[in-house]
Amino acid sequence: MTTTKGAFCEPAPAKVNLTLHVTGQRADGYHLLDSLVMFTALGDVVTVAAAERLTLTIDGPFSAGLTADNDNLVMRAARSFGVTNGAAITLTKNLPVASGIGGGSADAAAALRALSRLWGLPIPDSATILKLGADVPVCMTSELSRMHGIGDRIDTLGPAPMLDILLVNPNVAVSTAQVFGGLASKSNAPMAADMPDPRDRDDWVTWLLAQRNDLETPARIAAPTIDDVLGSLSAQVGSTLARMSGSGATCFALFKDGTSRDAAAATLRLSHPTWWIAETGAAPT
Ligand SMILES: C[C@@](CO)(OP(=O)(O)O)[C@H](O)COP(=O)(O)OP(=O)(O)OC[C@H]1O[C@@H](n2ccc(N)nc2=O)[C@H](O)[C@@H]1O
Ligand SMILES: Nc1ncnc2c1ncn2[C@@H]1O[C@H](COP(=O)(O)OP(=O)(O)O)[C@@H](O)[C@H]1O
């Protein structure tokens, strides 16, 4: 959070599901998850300033994909305080929309944090936060977290390790509900219980390789270009793990160092000029 003359500026870091195991389904249709989540230095930014009326302005490279109406998750987050206070909110949209890296959820979480400061009100309770979206609870923290339930049970694991990450989205939006609906099995094994110390990068990546994202198969059926993204990321020199995040279509790769990550980004920008490609690392905590 930074403060400038009464305005509060909150980062809304992108979420990466390093693993995503779907372990069951509730009677209401929501799926039970076991997911290791980290946040990146790359993200949207939410700025709030005192104003008479509640307004939202959206700028940034992905602003065209959104409308600044009452359905925007930032406005829904503002209304969830249950008051009629005013605020001039600006959302700088750097993340592709509906892309499995939780941009909307991160925006909602950042708006809650910023407006709580501006209005001097407590953050709404956990049930209210969950109603904004299953990913919003985890986005209230920027720490490495193990997420259970439908996204409502969060175990924080401390700062994420320093990783060299490449995010790639083929500019295809996939529907989260459709991808969950395409799962062949709703009841899959959870993550291995014991995780090596994430600061021991090599052991940890070896452990991650033995885990899964169960949504990858239905997402690849919905958007076959994900195969190309994963294949391209795996083929890069220095790539140690390539996987899809969330319900896609954004995929990530972990690299052995920043030099190989940056070289891979340059190669992919030449071979796939329409893809969104972003070099990043863990969010500061
Ligand atoms: C899949 C995940 C993994 O982190 O990420 P994304 O792909 O969205 O980034 C999340 O669970 C998504 O969270 P979020 O995008 O907030 O979901 P919501 O708006 O609450 O739900 C959208 C739809 O996804 C399905 N859904 C979502 C969460 C869950 N645990 N089970 C589900 O079945 C439901 O069909 C729901 O109608
Ligand atoms: N501020 C916002 N940013 C992104 N998406 C938003 C926002 N407000 C509402 N949405 C809607 O939320 C849905 C999920 O978006 P997003 O969080 O970007 O993707 P995902 O859940 O795949 O990570 C999209 O259909 C989008 O139209």
**Ligand 1 within 6 A of CB of 96:** no
- In this structure, what DSSP letter does residue 202 have? H
pLDDT computed for residue 142 by the predictor: 82
Q: What does the mean pLDDT of the chain come to?
A: 96
Is 7 inside a domain boundary?
A: yes
Question: Which domain covers residue 113, as residue numbers?
Answer: 2-155
131 noted as active-site residue: no
* Same structural domain, 222 and 141: no
Cα–Cα–Cα angle for 161, 270, 259, nearest 5°?
Answer: 30
* Same structural domain, 131 and 181: no
**Ligand 1 within 6 A of CB of 36:** no
pLDDT at 4 over 90: no
The CATH number of whichever domain residue 137 belongs to comes to: 3.30.230.10
The CATH number of whichever domain residue 205 belongs to comes to: 3.30.70.890
pLDDT computed for residue 5 by the predictor: 56
pLDDT band at 283, cuts 50/70/90?
A: very high
Q: In this predicted model, what pLDDT tens digit does every residue of 57-91 receive, in sequence order?
A: 999 999 998 999 999 999 999 999 999 999 999 99
CA of 65, closest atom in ligand 2: 27
pLDDT at 6 over 80: no
Is 196 inside a domain boundary?
A: yes
* Same structural domain, 10 and 150: yes
* Same structural domain, 127 and 31: yes
Q: In this predicted model, what pLDDT tens digit does every residue of 105-146 receive, in sequence order?
A: 999 999 999 999 999 999 999 999 999 999 999 999 989 999
The protein residue whose alpha carbon is closest to atom 30 in ligand 1 is: 150
Indicate the pTM of the whole model: 0.97
pLDDT computed for residue 1 by the predictor: 60
Q: What is the DSSP string of the chain?
A: -EEETTEEEEEEEEEEES-BEEEEE-TTSPEEEEEEEEEEEEEEEEEEE--SSEEEEEESTTGGG---STTSHHHHHHHTT-S---EEEEEE--SPSSSSS-HHHHHHHHHHHHHHHHHT-PPPPHHHHHHT-TTHHHHT--S-EEEETTTTEEEE-SSPP--EEEEEE-S----HHHHHHT-S-S------S----TTSHHHHHHHHHTS-BTTHHHHHHH-THHHHHHHHHHHSTTEEEEEE-TTSS-EEEEESSHHHHHHHHHHHHHH-TTSEEEEE-BPP-
pLDDT band at 148, cuts 50/70/90?
A: very high
pLDDT computed for residue 47 by the predictor: 98
pLDDT computed for residue 266 by the predictor: 98
Question: Catalytic residue among 34, 135, 164, 214, which?
Answer: 135
ipTM: 0.97
* Same structural domain, 124 and 252: no
**Ligand 1 within 6 A of CB of 33:** yes
